């Protein structure tokens, strides 16, 4: 008899229905995970609310997965039923030029994880390629799966501050007060940054970030000129490191203008396809700016970010604003979209 499970099926932009579907069978050479916690992130919202699959529906999204191994195919020895694991959504090949040079985030041999049924469901299946490549991490006993689910959104921010070497005494301006901006602020403070400025156009989002002492100054760029404000807060010098963590080309332009001479400006947030950012190259030239485009996280950084996320000293409780059952996914989308929630984690196996 086929077993059923609850899953959040996307039928079209914004049309998400929690229904019963067949529980995935265990693939030959693979395994099945019972999803305990699955985070909802900015890319999920974008995929769920736009025609992300060009008419090919229904589809199950969700990629920030922590759960219990529920079934293991014969011959697979890497996993045992009942263990809790965090599954990084991307399994790098570990063999190509990029993987071997420490840039597995650029690995061209990865499967597009959004093409497979995801974790907004009670169960998710993984095939033999995943078993071979790994990128799964055992969650130690006593660690809340909700906390462990933060490892995925943490990974790219961890990698970013690692790559640009945010260091003691740095001033940092972060444009975008979403969960990513808040992660960046916390990590910059951990690395010793002395001044952290968070900029956003959304007053709600800035207000939510008030819970974080790591942020020294909040700037509402729909009310004041953020360039002038960052210069004022940094003795007219600009910030050593500026990170644009939002989808706006305007913010990217502002970011360049508030970067200190010889400082670093990061393009962390992607902008809509086709949108171009106008750049005064003389500014970059004469001020000696470093411009760095950040994407993803290499294999080692994925692991380090996971270790930090499950460290009880990391303030997971302040980042996760809501833990909701799968049935509330539409509410979760709305709350995240409007900024009412900072970070929602869904728990598909709890009612």
Binding region for Zn ion (CB under 5 A) = 41, 64, 93, 96, 99, 107, 109, 152-153
For the bound state, the minimum distance from the C-beta of residue 67 to ligand NAD, rounded and expressed in Å, comes to: 22
Chosen from ligand NAD, Zn ion, none, partner binding at 7 (C-beta under 5 to 8 Å by type) = none
Chosen from ligand NAD, Zn ion, none, partner binding at 107 (C-beta under 5 to 8 Å by type) = Zn ion
322 belongs to the binding site for ligand NAD (CB under 6 A) = no
For the bound state, the minimum distance from the C-beta of residue 295 to Zn ion, rounded and expressed in Å, comes to: 13
For residues 200-219, which are near ligand NAD according to CB under 6 A? Answer: 200-202, 205
319 belongs to the binding site for ligand NAD (CB under 6 A) = no
175 belongs to the binding site for ligand NAD (CB under 6 A) = yes
Chosen from Zn ion, ligand NAD, none, partner binding at 99 (C-beta under 5 to 8 Å by type) = Zn ion
For the bound state, the minimum distance from the C-beta of residue 213 to Zn ion, rounded and expressed in Å, comes to: 25
345 vs 324: CA distance, rounded Å: 6
**CA dist 233 → 38, 216, 218, 240 (Å):** 38, 10, 11, 12
Number of H helices, E strands in the chain: 13, 15
Chosen from ligand NAD, Zn ion, none, partner binding at 178 (C-beta under 5 to 8 Å by type) = ligand NAD
Helical H segments across the chain, by residue range: 42-49, 97-100, 128-133, 145-148, 151-163, 179-190, 203-208, 226-233, 249-257, 281-287, 299-309, 316-319, 329-338
The first and second tokens of residue 129, run together, are 């390629």
87 vs 137: CA distance, rounded Å: 7
250 belongs to the binding site for ligand NAD (CB under 6 A) = yes
Interaxial angle between packed helices 329-338 and 42-49, expressed in degrees from 0 to 180 and rounded to the nearest 10 = 110
Residue from 245, 265, 316, 344 in contact with ligand NAD (CB under 6 A):
245
Residues 6+ apart with CB under 8 A from 347: 36, 37, 38, 145, 146, 323, 324, 325, 326
Chosen from ligand NAD, Zn ion, none, partner binding at 234 (C-beta under 5 to 8 Å by type) = none
**CA dihedral over 188, 194, 199, 202, signed as positive or negative:** positive
Residue from 27, 89, 178, 348 in contact with ligand NAD (CB under 6 A):
178
114 belongs to the binding site for ligand NAD (CB under 6 A) = no
Residue from 156, 171, 209, 299 in contact with ligand NAD (CB under 6 A):
156
Is-contact 205 182, C-beta < 8 A?
no
How many Cβ atoms are within 10 Å of 299's Cβ, its own excluded?
21
**CA dist 197 → 67, 179, 181, 316 (Å):** 36, 15, 10, 21
What DSSP designation does 235 have?
A: T
For residues 127-146, which are near ligand NAD according to CB under 6 A? Answer: none
For the bound state, the minimum distance from the C-beta of residue 151 to ligand NAD, rounded and expressed in Å, comes to: 13
For residues 12-41, which are near ligand NAD according to CB under 6 A? Answer: 41
The site map against ligand NAD for 276-315 (x = CB under 6 A) is ------------------xxx-------------------
Interface with ligand NAD (CB under 6 A): 41-43, 156, 175-181, 199-202, 205, 221, 245-248, 250-251, 268-270, 294-296, 339
């Amino acid at each position: 008899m086929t077993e059923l499970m609850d899953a959040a099926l996307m039928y079209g932009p914004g049309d998400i229905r929690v229904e019963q579907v067949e529980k995935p069978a265990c693939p030959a050479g693979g395994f099945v995970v019972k999803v305990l916690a699955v985070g909802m992130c900015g890319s999920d919202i974008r995929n769920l609310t736009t025609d992300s699959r060009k008419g090919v529906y229904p589809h199950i999204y969700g990629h920030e997965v922590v759960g219990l191994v529920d079934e293991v195919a014969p011959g697979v020895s890497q996993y045992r039923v009942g263990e809790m694991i965090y599954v990084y959504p991307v399994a790098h090949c570990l063999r190509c030029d990029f993987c071997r040079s420490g840039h597995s985030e650029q690995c061209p041999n990865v499967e597009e994880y959004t093409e497979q049924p995801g974790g907004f469901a009670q169960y998710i299946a993984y095939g033999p390629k995943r078993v071979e490549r790994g990128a799964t991490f055992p969650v130690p006993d006593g660690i809340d799966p909700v906390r462990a689910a933060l490892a995925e959104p943490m990974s790219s921010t961890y990698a970013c501050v690692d790559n640009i070497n945010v260091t003691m005494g740095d001033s940092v301006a972060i444009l975008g007060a979403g969960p990513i901006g808040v992660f960046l602020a916390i990590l910059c403070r951990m690395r010793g940054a002395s001044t952290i400025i968070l900029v956003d156009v959304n007053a709600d989002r800035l207000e939510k970030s008030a819970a974080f002492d790591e942020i020294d100054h909040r700037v509402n760029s729909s009310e004041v000129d953020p360039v002038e404000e960052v210069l004022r807060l940094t003795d007219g010098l600009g910030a050593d490191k500026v990170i644009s963590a939002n989808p706006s080309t305007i913010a990217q332009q502002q970011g360049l203008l508030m970067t200190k001479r010889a400082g670093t400006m990061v393009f962390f947030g992607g902008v809509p396809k086709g949108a171009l950012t106008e750049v005064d190259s003389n500014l970059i030239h004469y001020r000696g700016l470093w411009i760095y485009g950040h994407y993803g996280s290499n294999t080692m950084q994925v692991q380090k970010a996971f270790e930090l996320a499950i460290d009880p000293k990391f303030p997971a409780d302040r980042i996760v604003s809501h833990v909701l059952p799968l049935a509330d996914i539409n509410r979760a989308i709305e709350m995240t979209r409007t900024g009412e929630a900072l970070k929602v984690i869904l728990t598909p196996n709890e009612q």
